[in-house]
Amino acid sequence: MDDLQTAAIAAVAERDYPAAGDAYTRAAWARLARPRDRQSPFDADEKGWVGRALQSLAVAGVCYRVAGRPERAAHRGREGAAVAADLEHALTEQVQRACLREFAADFHAIGDLPGTNDAYDEAEAAYEDAAETVTDAQTVTTTPLFQAAAALLKQVARGLDNGEIAVSWETLHGPDPENVGRFLGHRVAYKRQRFPSLLAKAVERGRLAAPRGTTEYNNASFRCPACESTDVNWVGESTLCLRCSTPISER
């Protein structure tokens, strides 16, 4: 994990959401310029590593929303939607381009932009159109692009569910991977239904959870100073309470 991403997570833990938004934005720009060593964002890539840049940009927008900076969130929403659209000219797999439409819809929701429902409709239709090109839908969902598109929803949701995994892989996808269009399209249907309301609740509470990293329950060497939990989340270079994302140290 790079220094900017690490700094962004630490700022989330300190509840300094404007600083977290700035760090996530810078991390996104850096990752967009070089998704991996010796890789251009404009290269065809069956894994879709550039999705991690979009993920960082999306989290930045959420941080600004939670911080009460809706105008900056709107900037990130417009920026992210434009980048996702541009990347459709780089990623060659039709199903990847559908995932970029999913990202674009999320950016509309993050920025509270007009046309959010239409953007989700376009993404769902894109998955239906791409279905015949996909041989293994389950494998597709494990690639970095698709994982990145799911990560933001999971991060927002876990902050409203005591730090737990609030959106499972099974919940996000349809029940039958053989029905590829419906299986992948369920991601969009679920987000359309749940993401805007989850985001609104996070904004109302003024809190965003840190992403989930390596976790351990009932570790007697740690106790959260805020909520007394002994459940730990190691992510980036931070040691955090799994429940409330407060920084904790070993006793």
What are the pLDDT digits (tens) for 189-207? 999 999 999 999 999 999 9
Residue 211 clears pLDDT 90, i.e. is over it = yes
pLDDT tens sequence across 79-101: 999 999 999 999 999 999 999 99
- Rounded (10°) CA dihedral 20, 23, 24, 30: 180
Residue 129's pLDDT is what? 97
Measured N-to-C along each axis, helices 144-158 and 51-66 cross at an angle, to the nearest 10 degrees, of 20
Residue 138's pLDDT is what? 95
pLDDT tens sequence across 9-35: 999 999 999 999 999 999 999 999 999
Residue 174's pLDDT is what? 85
pLDDT tens sequence across 126-185: 999 999 999 999 999 999 999 999 999 999 999 999 999 999 999 999 889 999 999 999
Residue 1's pLDDT is what? 65
Give burial (CB, 10 Å; 0-12/13-18/19+) of 66.
buried
CA distances from residue 68 to 9, 43, 249 in whole angstroms, order as listed:
18, 37, 30
Residue 229's pLDDT is what? 96
